[in-house]
Chains A and B, each alone.
Chain A
């Protein structure tokens, strides 16, 4: 069984500041993928970033980067230079060879002026 835990229900950050969202997971598979999805109020699920477990290098996508600690089963998301448009629910997710994606409960991020 796969589990994903997001322990921060809500977070707030000021515009232009940096924020880190936490995620831990558990899986018995050796090949797996980790993702962060963003869900703005429009309810669309948008892929932010992904990480292959076999890659040691942390993934980055513009202002978004991850800190992947495989031994600790930790996968945090760092958002630099936060923008108002980053306000959304953020979901951490995990998939293995079975394809199905298991989601955490989400972190609601509010970016303020």
Chain B
């Protein structure tokens, strides 16, 4: 298994430009998460999907941020327009969620992250 694949690994862009981050979850996983990591705020959950449906986007900072999951094997996080304060490492993670008598969640498996720098 290749694990969670994120691209690009690094992105440098100018303020005002559109940025698209991409994620391919582990095959068979049905939950996908986007996290942002900064020194000041640590790891913050932005949004997560279950079976391709957004479940909780309360962590998305502003309308400039949007995320989609058109199918089980692909998700994007878009920032338009980007601002310097969006500079951070963005992680995608996936897991398998099964509903049983005792809810089961496999651990989150993380991608290697995208380091975004907005100048």
Contacts and interface: CB of A to CB of B under 8 A. Distances in A.
Contacts of B85: none
A43 B114 CA distance: 10
A53 B77 CA distance: 33
Interface stretch (B19-27, B63-71, B104-112): B104-112
Interface residues of A, number: 24
Interface in A92-113: 95-106
Nearest to A50: B107
A56 interface: no
Contact of A101 (B42, B55, B108, B112): B108
Nearest to B113: A43
Interface residues of B, number: 24
A25 interface: no
Given A44-B112, A100-B48, A95 B105 contact: yes
B18 interface: no
A64 interface: no
Contacts of A43: 89, 112-113, 115
Contact of B91 (A33, A45, A95, A102): A45
A44 B56 CA distance: 24
Given A35-B107, A43-B113, 7 more contacts: A42-B112, A43-B115, A98-B55, A98-B56, A99-B48, A100-B45, A101-B33
15 contacts: A31-B102, A35-B108, A44-B110, A44-B112, A44-B113, A47-B107, A50-B107, A95-B105, A95-B108, A97-B105, A99-B31, A99-B105, A100-B48, A103-B42, A103-B43
